Structure 1
Amino acid sequence: MKILIIGANGTIGKAVTRSLEAKNEIIKVGKTSGDLQVDISDSTSIEKMFENSGKVDAIVCIAGDAKWDKFDNLSEEDFYVGIKSKLMGQVNLVRIGRKYLNSNGSFTLTTGILADHPVDKTTSAAMVNGGIHSFVQAAALELENGLRINAISADLVEDAKDKYEDYFPGHTPVPMVKVADGYKKSILGKLNGEIIRILA
């Protein structure tokens, strides 16, 4: 299977890539590294990436920015960071990527625990994650040629514990192998329109 992974060099991306690369052809994509580069907040950049990748069997996005700050501090422009990058970036990957995905191929998008259990300073990020969940469920009804779409929503992951644990009091970190298995379930299985929640 030919799998394009956006964010392949990130914390979760590395684990997912490792779990898939033995039996699949992986195209690693990053903002400044990898086999190809893309800025998912820019539709032209997305189109160029797909022109260079050609047809693939699965498109996986483990990327996207959102502003973390107190609600009182967030400006309208701060909200647009997450809307343009993590939300519309992933929407546009699906919108544009449909014509580059082989029949019966799949999209796997990434959200996170904040859609269901927001924590302090995550008004923008939680909003974006929830929007992606709704988009996935609706888009699944209309995709053609056997195409599937799912979102992965993981709790705090083990390899990011040191960086983020203060933001997530009481959250038990999810082992990376369990996170990678969630992505494999979406990519290699038959689920469609699902929010695959990964908890410890």
Structure 2
Amino acid sequence: MKIVVIGAGGDIGRFVVEELTRDGRHNVIRVGRTKGDHQVDISSDGSVETLFKKIGRIDAIIVAAGNVILAPITEMTAASFHKGLQDKLLSQVRVALVGQHSLNDGGSITLTSGIAVDDPIAQGSNAATSNAGIEGFVRAAACDFSRGIRINAVSPTMLTESMDRFGPFFPGTESVAGTRVAMAYRRSVEGVQTGRVYRVGH
């Protein structure tokens, strides 16, 4: 399969690339904001459209990119909340909406949500809202896609490899290895299900 991984150099993306390239069965195209085989700004319609025009026909899209705003609700403004929604929720939706037209019949899209939607954390209202939006989009979009196109999401708990940065936000939470999270993306790409949210570690 020809697979595009957006966020290929990130905490999750790098493990996804390793998982999907280790047996030599897939042609994985690494995409990042500033690095990789191609670069893209997923907050920009034009940038995403240009990316898929360059790459051509593909079999799968994985998005493991997008940031949320972690801040106390008492300090959150509508503008800052909107920025978080734009960066994670709407950027991933944008990739799905634009990228669908480059998918071959039977292709797949895999987005990324996260544990904050099920297990809210302090300062995590924006993260929970973004993740819930992604999961809602996946479930509903799965009903509308044609040509056998599938869409799923992976919702990981905190990665063991990211504990130094995010551990304080998730006190008492058991982490999961990036290699285990990556297996859920393989399941989404190579499996047959659609409209699913694959939860890893929670």
What TM-score do you get using the length of structure 1 for normalisation? 0.98
> Which residue is 1:94 aligned to?
96
List gaps (5 residues or longer) in structure 1.
none
Separation of aligned partners in 2, 1:79 and 1:9: 26
Secondary structure of the residue aligned to 1:33 is coil
Secondary structure of the residue aligned to 1:103 is strand
Q: Write out aligned runs for 1:179-194 (5 A).
A: 179-194=181-196
> Which residue is 2:48 aligned to?
46
Separation of aligned partners in 1, 2:177 and 2:127: 22
Per the TM alignment, residue 23 of structure 1 is displaced from its structure 2 partner at its CA by: 2.0
> Which residue is 1:15 aligned to?
15
The aligned amino acid for 1:140 is A
Per the TM alignment, residue 188 of structure 1 is displaced from its structure 2 partner at its CA by: 0.8
Separation of aligned partners in 2, 1:29 and 1:81: 22
Per the TM alignment, residue 136 of structure 1 is displaced from its structure 2 partner at its CA by: 0.4
Contact 1:65 1:81 in 2 (8 A): no
Secondary structure of the residue aligned to 1:146 is coil
> Which residue is 1:85 aligned to?
87
> Which residue is 1:176 aligned to?
178
Separation of aligned partners in 2, 1:175 and 1:87: 24
Per the TM alignment, residue 52 of structure 1 is displaced from its structure 2 partner at its CA by: 0.8
> Which residue is 2:60 aligned to?
58
What TM-score do you get using the length of structure 2 for normalisation? 0.97
Separation of aligned partners in 2, 1:156 and 1:57: 29
> Which residue is 2:127 aligned to?
125
Contact 1:56 1:100 in 2 (8 A): yes
Identity of aligned residues (%): 38
Per the TM alignment, residue 178 of structure 1 is displaced from its structure 2 partner at its CA by: 1.2
Per the TM alignment, residue 177 of structure 1 is displaced from its structure 2 partner at its CA by: 1.9
Task: Give structure 1 regions of 4+ aligned residues with deviation exceeding 2 angstroms.
Answer: none
> Which residue is 1:29 aligned to?
31
The aligned amino acid for 1:187 is V
Contact 1:15 1:180 in 2 (8 A): yes
Separation of aligned partners in 2, 1:74 and 1:23: 46
> Which residue is 2:153 aligned to?
151
Question: In structure 2, which of residues 72, 75, 78 is the aligned counterpart of residue 76 of structure 1?
Answer: 78
Secondary structure of the residue aligned to 2:138 is helix
CA offset digits 1:179-199 (Å, max 9, x no partner): 011111101111100010001
List gaps (5 residues or longer) in structure 2.
none
